[in-house]
Structure formats: C-alpha cells, structure tokens
Amino acid sequence: MPQPRRVLVTGGSGFIGSHVVDTLARRGYEPRIFDLRESPHHEPGSVDTVLGDATDTASLVRAMDGCAAVIHLAAMADVGHVQADPAGAERLNARATAAVLEAARATGVGRVVYGSTIWVYSDCEPTAVEEATPLAHPAHLYSATKLAGELYCRSYAELYGVDYTILRFGIPYGPRARVAAVVPAMVERALKGEPLTVAGDGSQGRRFVYVEDLAAGVVEALKPEAANRVYNLAGTETTTILEIAQTVRELLGNVEIVQTEARPGDFGGKEVSSERALLELGWRASTPFREGVRRYVEWRHAHEPVLGAPVVQPERVAIRRPVWRDRVLPRVPALVPSPRRALSMAAVAASLGWGVMSDDSFSTLAKIFGGGPTTSVHTTRPVVGVVIDAPPSMAVEVARTLRRDGGAASIGLTGKVDTTTLAAIRASGSDPLPRLKPGGPVRWMGTRSQVKHLARDLGVTGHIYYEAPAKGFTYTQNLLAHTAGASALRGQVRIAGTGPLGHVDRGDILQLTLTDSNWRARLAVLCRQLRARHLHAVPADELIRGRS
C-alpha cells in the first residue's frame, strides 16, 4: 500500500489530536482536522479543518473525501464528564466510532486508526497485560464505550473489509493537556503554592506516556503492517502518584504533599507492555517522565491552562428577523409569508410559466440553476447504484434474484404496495424507491403531495430520494418536490436488452426497466458484467446517502 498522504484526524483540535496533526505535518502528510471546534492550538487557517459532528456520517463522508486514512480521536475523553453524562458518552465514544467506520466503508478510506485506551484492561485478572490478554467485561462506562468502539472496528473489518488499527493509549501528559488530568492538576496547585494532593497512599502506578511520543506512535500506526492489529502505546516506566507529586515539587518549588481518599472507579493501574509496538512498528515512548513534566511546565509558563474540551454542540446560526415582522406577524400570521417562503414562492411562480410547458425546459433550467436529478456520486468504493423499475408483482422476486447474485437495487414503485412486499424487498437488501409520474401542463400541481404520499406508502423515512420520470419531468416538478424535502435521482446509464454495458464509473447510477419475461436473463447479464469490472450493485438511494 502506498503511504497515505491526506489523513483525517477526528478530534484534531483536542489534546492528543492536535499533536497528531503536528506530527503528521512534520512527516509530510496532509492532516485535515474534523472537530466541533477550530483548533485552539494552531493558527487560524493553518490546518485544513472541517467543522462537524463525529456522530454525523454524512459530514464524515464529505470530510473523508480524498483521504487515505482516518485517525479517530474525537471522544468524551474525560472520565469525569463520562460519569456526569453517560448517554452523551455512549453517543460520542461508541456511536461516533460506528459513524466513522460507516463513513470509511462508504468512501473506501484505506484505514481507520482508533484511539482506544489502556482502561480496557481495568477489569482483567492479570496485573501484567499485553494486547493478547483476554479482556474482562469492563465495569466503568468509559472503558465500556471505548471497548464498544474497538468491537465495532473488528466487525467492520470482518463484514465490510474496512481495515483498522486499534491503539490503546497509556495516560498521556504534556503540553496542551487539560488541567483536570493528574500532572497538570498538580502543576496548577504547585503554581498557586497549594499542597499537592495524592489519592490513596500514592503507591498506585501509572503508565504515563509523553504526548509527543504518543502522537509519533499514532502516525507509525498508518504503516501497512499495522492493518488490523492492536497496539498498546504506553510508557516504559511505571510512575506512582507519589513520584508525580515529588517530580512536580522538584521542578516548581517546595510545596507540601498531602494524601486524600482514592477516587471511585479510577484506573487501577496495570503493567502494560508496549513490546508489540516496538517489535512491529519500531515505536517506544522515549521521553523520560521528568523531562516530559519539565516540558509541560515550560509550556504552561507560556500558555494559559487548558480548562477542558467541553462537548460543544455545533453552532446554530441565529436568523435575525426584521423588527416590523415581529410586531405585525402575530396579528396577520396567515397573510404574511416568511421572506424565505415568499422568495421560494416567487421562484416557483417565475419558473411555472415555462417550466410547466415542456420537459425540454428542464435541462435548460437545470443547467442555469442546477439541481437536476443526481445521476452519479463520487466514491472510491467499487460500487454502482442501481435503479430497477418493475411492477410490484415482480419486485420481490427481482430483489431476491439480485441478492442471490450478491447485489441490491432501489426498486422504483409508483403506488401503494402492501407491507409484506415492502418488507421482503428490504429483507433482500434492496430499497423501495418512490417513482414520480411524469409532469406536464396539469400534473405538476400535485407533485408535493404525490412525493410525500409515495414516500409514506413505501415507508421511506428521512430525506426522500425519488426516481425522476424518464420523460415529461419538468423543472417545476423538480422544484416543488424539493420544497417537500425530496431529491430526484435517475440513471446515468440506461440499460436496455442484454448487450454490452458500455462505459461505467464507480458511483454511477444504472437504471433498467424489467417487465418482460426475459428479466432474469437481463439481471444475470448485468450482474456478470458488473462482476467482470469488480463492481458491486447497491441501491442508488443508499449510494447517495453514503450508506454504501
């Protein structure tokens, strides 16, 4: 595998992620941050950044465009936050990882490097652990949600061939660390001249890892030999809490050390071996603990403390309404349309005159304003979207036949179809697809309700994709359907008969109509020709949604 160049780093604005971004850039990669917030650790505009939510597969799919790998670090990393918000932790740690894997599957990104934690060993029997140590069910929610992410990685590799590398990080420390972490917390106290608190008797050992060493290990994990492997990235020395306090005292002055109660659910401390990372990746944590703390203190003298990485929600754009509207609207709500609605009504009205007259108007208008049916999407996966028009009586058999050949399709249907048929189509991996009737001078008027009813009858939820009629599809229909939250798709390649397929690219939508008795032979020929090109048939609507 050639060395990947552009690498997406989810959580790249955070503590570990920002160092990973720097290491990638130093080593000639092109890092791209995916985070809810701009990086506070980089000059604005200096790193390619996509703002988005890591639980949103569609945003991830867009961000992964052109990326050879994704390093997934976005998470709720603070165990205090996890305890306070268990549902949020599950969403952010487990579900976001599933979303990243799903996006990787859709885009064909070559590797998902997952930032896990040595906390997954917390409940293991042995005190000395390595990657092959059987894991016990974790008691702490942080470990449970991070372990769920590991399991999803394995499942996606098994079922869909998405390569992963799982990295179990030791406890990182160093510049940009949150003050809630043990080393920065002690440094803060020492800077204020307050006594250093040590939980329990201070003899608990931790495998700390200096964050820049850790970032180097994360980048090493992009190597081909790390595919589908698990590595511990922890320090080589065990440091006790008491030793941390003593190191901080040595570096910052003569502060008192006092002992407090042990924290509930804290990582018990294990001898974590990182031997495998040394043998296979040539990585070891090389910065001695004292030196790492010294560098943190030096950084801290020049910077404000990082108070934490709160789980910020994506910003909502406030739409300011004109004052007159606030006063008048409550009195005449039905008479005054919102500006946006008025604008779209004007646009609809303006295009009606010509748009309804002929379907020839469609291509001209679509060229000017854009927004015609989707006929292909960009994907690096070896898939094509398929739309099959077939009468409801044939639809289930078509979907099953396709399934036997390892494929699936969107089955275009124009009316109400019984639930058993719909369930059987879906059980075969295909999707029922609302199929709009042609427009023309009169029929465009019912477009909005037609699309909505069709979607409801076929049990289509979320954003509606519908099949645009091959002939008689007017721009007005397109526009009206759009106002009902629906988008048109149609075949880039129309297949008739059993002849050769012609030129087909990954991501193209192929369309065929099956009504004749010859349909099985036609499907078999299509599947054979796709196989010969190493292409896989998926439902066209799934392809666009980025699920395939």
Ligand X SMILES: NC(=O)c1ccc[n+]([C@@H]2O[C@H](COP(=O)([O-])OP(=O)(O)OC[C@H]3O[C@@H](n4cnc5c(N)ncnc54)[C@H](O)[C@@H]3O)[C@@H](O)[C@H]2O)c1
> Which residues contact ligand X (rule: CB under 6 A)?
10-11, 13-17, 35-37, 53-55, 73-75, 77, 92, 96, 115, 117, 146, 169, 171-172, 309, 311
Using a 10 angstrom Cβ sphere, with 0-12 exposed, 13-18 middle and 19 or more buried, the burial of residue 313 is exposed
Phi, psi of 10 (to 5 degrees): -75, 140
Q: 92: number of CA atoms within 13 Å, CB side? A: 26
Nearer to ligand X, 146 or 270 (CB): 146
For 282-382, strand residue ranges (E) read none
Shortest distance, CB of residue 203 to ligand X, whole angstroms? 21
Shortest distance, CB of residue 270 to ligand X, whole angstroms? 13
Nearer to ligand X, 97 or 351 (CB): 97
DSSP string covering 24-81, please?
Answer: HHHTT-EEEEEESS--TTS-TTSSEEEE--TT-HHHHHHHTTT-SEEEE--S---HHH
Nearer to ligand X, 118 or 493 (CB): 118
Between CA 509 and CA 357 the distance in angstroms is 28
Between CA 290 and CA 520 the distance in angstroms is 72
Give how far Cα 394 sits from Cα of 389, 391, 415, 489, 514, Å. 10, 6, 14, 22, 9
Task: Let me know: does 269 contact 206? Beta carbons within 8 Å.
Answer: yes
Shortest distance, CB of residue 313 to ligand X, whole angstroms? 9
Nearer to ligand X, 171 or 451 (CB): 171
**Token output for 95:** 């579900």
Shortest distance, CB of residue 419 to ligand X, whole angstroms? 36
Nearer to ligand X, 215 or 356 (CB): 215
Shortest distance, CB of residue 16 to ligand X, whole angstroms? 4
Nearer to ligand X, 85 or 405 (CB): 85
Nearer to ligand X, 274 or 511 (CB): 274
Between CA 92 and CA 36 the distance in angstroms is 12
Shortest distance, CB of residue 481 to ligand X, whole angstroms? 32
Q: Tell me how long the chain is.
A: 548
Nearer to ligand X, 14 or 292 (CB): 14
What is the β-pairing status of strands 205-206 and 431-434? unpaired
Angle (CA) 136 137 141, round 5°: 130
Nearer to ligand X, 143 or 476 (CB): 143
Nearer to ligand X, 60 or 460 (CB): 60
Shortest distance, CB of residue 259 to ligand X, whole angstroms? 23
Shortest distance, CB of residue 74 to ligand X, whole angstroms? 4
Nearer to ligand X, 231 or 465 (CB): 231
DSSP string covering 185-235, please?
Answer: HHHHHHHTTPPEEEETTS--EE-EEEHHHHHHHHHHTTSGGGTTEEEEE--
Q: 361: number of CA atoms within 13 Å, CB side? A: 19
Shortest distance, CB of residue 186 to ligand X, whole angstroms? 15
Between CA 323 and CA 310 the distance in angstroms is 35
Shortest distance, CB of residue 280 to ligand X, whole angstroms? 20
Shortest distance, CB of residue 521 to ligand X, whole angstroms? 49
Q: Which one-letter DSSP state was computed for residue 322? A: P
Q: Which residue has the tokens 């002690």?
A: 186
| Residue 440 region by backbone torsions, left for phi larger than 0, else alpha for psi between -120 and 50, else beta | left
Shortest distance, CB of residue 128 to ligand X, whole angstroms? 19
Q: Which one-letter DSSP state was computed for residue 409? A: -
Q: Which residue is nearest to ligand X (CB)?
A: 14
Nearer to ligand X, 310 or 485 (CB): 310
Q: 513: number of CA atoms within 13 Å, CB side? A: 8
Give how far Cα 53 sits from Cα of 50, 73, 101, 238, Å. 10, 12, 14, 36
Between CA 270 and CA 123 the distance in angstroms is 10
Nearer to ligand X, 85 or 397 (CB): 85
Shortest distance, CB of residue 522 to ligand X, whole angstroms? 45
